[in-house]
Amino acid sequence: RAAVRRSLAAAPLVAPSDGSHLGAHAARPRVRLLLAWLHACLNERCRFAPAGFSKAYDFGDADERAALRLADTWLNRAAAQGAESVPWDALRGVLLSAAYGGRVDIPSDLAELEGVVAS
């Protein structure tokens, strides 16, 4: 719970006041909340290695910021095309390949990561 609060304090759910959110997808706050939960969940699993993952991975703030930027990019692209639905498959793919999956080097841990991201 504290990790989610820290994540939300660092990357608030509300749109920034500088106007960079114009044209942003309506689901942006929901996706940001889910990413904060995902990041906290992954870090919690690392704390209990080898029960959560085979080893403790260092999922840090940079990974979370990358995930947020990637999600914003995909949501803005969807909003620009007039899509009301969230591109969940695309978000799952970039989270697994770019944001978090690049650190995972054990196949069984990658399968665990895929399960967490899919849920």
Per-residue pLDDT for 25 more than 90? no
Query: Taking the CA of residue 113 as centre, how many other CA atoms within 13 Å lie in the half-sphere pointing to its CB?
Result: 29
Say how far residue 116 (Cα) sits from the centre of its chain: 11
Choice among 11-25, 39-53, 68-82, 97-111 with the minimum mean pLDDT: 11-25
Q: Model pTM?
A: 0.77
Helix axes 28-47, 107-118, angle to 10 degrees: 140
Q: Which two tokens stand for residue 40?
A: 């906290």
pLDDT band for 83, please (50, 70, 90 cuts). confident
pLDDT at 19 over 80: no
| Ranges of H-type helices in the chain | 2-10, 28-47, 61-80, 88-94, 107-118
How many other C-beta atoms lie within 10 A of the C-beta of residue 116?
16
CB 8 within 8 A of CB 37: no
pLDDT tens track for 54-77:
999 999 888 988 998 899 888 888
* Chain length of the chain: 119
The amino acid that residue 79 corresponds to is A
Whether residue 90 has pLDDT greater than 70: yes
